[in-house]
Amino acid sequence: MSNGSRRHFTPQQKAEIVRRHLSGKKAVSDLASEFQIQPSQIHGWVKLVLDQAEAAFRRQPGNRRGDEAKERRIAQLEEKLVQKNEVIAELMEENVRAKKANGEL
């Protein structure tokens, strides 16, 4: 790639290259040749992944409780909406009956 243009890889592409290397399927030199990049670039991506590996195992306290609270709130609001819709339907029926009684319909 000596024409001066830079190749840009998406995060998904980078992750796939790193996965192929870490799974033991491909050597860095083979991947570098295949994607026409320097092996040091792949080594950098692998280092980045390994440096952030602990984040995959980190628990986020309170996150589950927050989700449960949101789900309860959504259920309450949905129930309230159903009740309001029922009231609106009753009022509309009453309105139609009143209009018919007055001869407006």
Per-domain residue ranges of the chain:
11-56+79-102
Greatest Cα pair distance, the chain, in angstroms, is 88
Helix (H) or strand (E) holding 15: helix 11-22
Q: Which residue has the higher pLDDT, 100 or 2?
A: 100
The span from the CA of 38 to the CA of 14, in Å, is: 13
Per residue in 38-74, pLDDT tens? 999 999 999 999 999 888 888 766 566 677 888 899 9
Distance (Å, whole) CA 47 – CA 44:
5
pLDDT-derived band of residue 1, with 50, 70 and 90 as boundaries? very low
Tokens representing residue 50 in the block? 């390994």
This prediction's pTM: 0.53
